């Protein structure tokens, strides 16, 4: 199959300045059929992107923490049916009617917990503000999320689907069960066995770290710190320096950095059955609908790692029915086409364009038309 369409998209978006720098990897049946680094890791210093450039993952962190959780489930260290309060007695949110919520681990991993991303929480006075995982902070997981104890969830756990900070809370559960930091758990259960050498909650090599760029009306700008995106696509606070702050809680929803190849190793492991991190049963379940028919994004269901396309037209995507996809607001997107045995990873240094701007559908369409 020819990747001319993909090359053309990358040439156009970097040539126009829409995307500053990108690494795109495409694997089919376990073999790389396309690997390209294009544009700038640091535009102002004219440092080019390389295949081993390190990007801030944002929500690409989520499937890594989900995989860590499932690895622990596979080893009998916890269960998806366990009450969250068994591990986090300081986290006791309420149902909308004021009764104590029956929150389970499965609700966190599937985003059916009743938590939501709420930028207004970051605007509260310092002693009440709740960090959403992208902005800088010196709070621990307990100090941050215990502020939600006694507050009302958006819905009763299990009743709906809503993208949220649930994976941050899940990270706190993982820490409690593992008995060490979230990074240590991730490395022990997933990143170590899969040789994901740079996927960490810190930067392993500063010389390879991509500069973060932010969307603006005149094209990407070097991201200020902090930067508040008030786009309809995402409302939240970014802090590129957070990755250097050892005091900031390790955000299971947004806190990691690493390479595109690290992400590909994880996704290909899941696509091909989960070995050596967990069973084929859990790998298959993770790529299948785990939320039933509860309300969620149009044309999509959700598994343990990302969204499953059930209706391409309703979802507004070039991806076919059965595709699994997600991304990260620092500029990343990925998808798996199970029937074609194909996995695609795109990491850019452009928030939000590389995650949910026009570039994403341009890339998806180019790949799908090349099949």
Output the DSSP codes for 182-196. HHHHHIIIIITTTT-
Domain boundaries, the chain: 4-60+197-369, 67-188
For the chain, count helices (H), then strands (E). Answer: 11, 15
Cis omega before residue 48 (within 30°)?
Answer: no
pLDDT digits (tens, 9 = 90+) for 260-285: 999 999 999 999 999 999 999 999 99
What's the rounded Cα separation, in Å, for the pair 370 and 351?
Answer: 27
Query: Which residue among 2, 16, 59, 207 is the active-site one?
Result: 59
The tally of CA atoms less than 13 A away on the side-chain side of residue 300 is 21
What is the pLDDT averaged over residues 170-190? 98
Q: Is 46:40 a contact under the CB 8 Å cutoff?
A: yes
Q: Is 146:153 a contact under the CB 8 Å cutoff?
A: no
Residues pairing with 214 in the sheet = 221, 351
What's the rounded Cα separation, in Å, for the pair 96 and 155?
Answer: 6
**126: pLDDT strictly greater than 90:** no
What is the pLDDT averaged over residues 39-53? 98
What's the rounded Cα separation, in Å, for the pair 308 and 327?
Answer: 13
Residue 13, pLDDT score: 98
Q: How far is CA 168 from the centre of its chain?
A: 11
Within 10 angstroms of residue 32's Cβ, the number of other Cβ atoms is: 11
Q: Is 249:137 a contact under the CB 8 Å cutoff?
A: yes
Do 4-60+197-369 and 67-188 agree at the fold level?
A: yes
With cut-offs at 50, 70 and 90, classify the pLDDT of residue 127. Answer: confident
Class of domain 4-60+197-369: alpha beta
Within 10 angstroms of residue 250's Cβ, the number of other Cβ atoms is: 26
The CATH topology of domain 67-188 is Beta-lactamase (3.40.710)
DSSP state of 40: E
Q: CB neighbours of 198 closer than 8 A, spacing ≥ 6?
A: 52, 54, 204, 205, 208, 257, 258, 259, 262
- Catalytic status, residue 59: yes
DSSP state of 248: S
Residue 141, pLDDT score: 97
pLDDT digits (tens, 9 = 90+) for 331-356: 999 999 999 999 999 999 999 999 99
Under DSSP, is residue 60 helix (H, G, I), strand (E, B) or coil?
Answer: helix
pTM value surpassing 0.85: yes
């Amino acid at each position: 199959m020819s990747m001319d369409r993909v090359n053309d998209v990358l040439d156009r978006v970097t040539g126009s300045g829409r995307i500053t720098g990108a690494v795109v990897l495409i694997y089919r049946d376990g073999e790389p059929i396309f690997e390209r680094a294009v544009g700038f890791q640091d535009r102002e210093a004219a440092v080019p992107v390389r295949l081993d450039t390190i990007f801030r993952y944002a929500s690409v962190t989520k499937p890594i923490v989900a995989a860590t959780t499932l690895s622990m489930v596979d080893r009998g260290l916890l269960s998806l049916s366990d009450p969250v309060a068994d591990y986090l007695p300081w986290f006791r949110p309420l149902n909308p009617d004021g009764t104590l919520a029956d929150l389970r681990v499965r609700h966190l991993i599937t985003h059916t917990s009743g938590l939501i991303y709420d930028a207004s929480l970051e605007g509260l006075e310092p002693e009440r503000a709740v960090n959403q995982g992208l902005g800088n902070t010196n709070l621990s997981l307990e100090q941050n999320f215990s502020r939600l104890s006694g507050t009302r969830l958006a819905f009763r756990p299990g009743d709906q689907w809503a993208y949220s900070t649930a994976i941050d809370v899940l990270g706190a559960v993982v820490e409690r069960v593992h008995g060490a930091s979230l990074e240590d758990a991730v490395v022990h259960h997933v990143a170590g066995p899969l040789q994901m050498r740079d996927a960490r909650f810190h930067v392993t090599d500063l010389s390879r770290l991509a500069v973060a760029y932010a969307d603006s009306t005149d094209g990407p700008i070097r991201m200020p710190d902090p930067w508040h995106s008030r786009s309809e696509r995402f409302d939240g606070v970014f802090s590129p320096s957070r990755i250097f702050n050892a005091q900031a809680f390790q955000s299971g929803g947004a806190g990691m950095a690493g390479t595109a190849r690290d992400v590909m190793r994880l996704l290909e492991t899941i696509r091909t059955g989960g070995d050596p991190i967990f069973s084929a049963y859990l790998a298959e379940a993770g790529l299948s609908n785990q939320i039933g028919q509860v309300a969620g994004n149009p044309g999509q269901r959700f598994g343990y790692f990302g969204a499953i396309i059930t209706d391409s037209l309703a979802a507004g995507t070039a991806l076919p029915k059965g595709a699994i996809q997600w991304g990260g607001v620092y500029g990343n997107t990925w998808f798996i086409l199970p029937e074609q045995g194909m996995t695609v990873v795109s990491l850019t240094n452009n928030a939000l364009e590389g995650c949910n701007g026009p570039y994403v559908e341009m890339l998806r369409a180019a790949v799908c038309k090349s099949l």
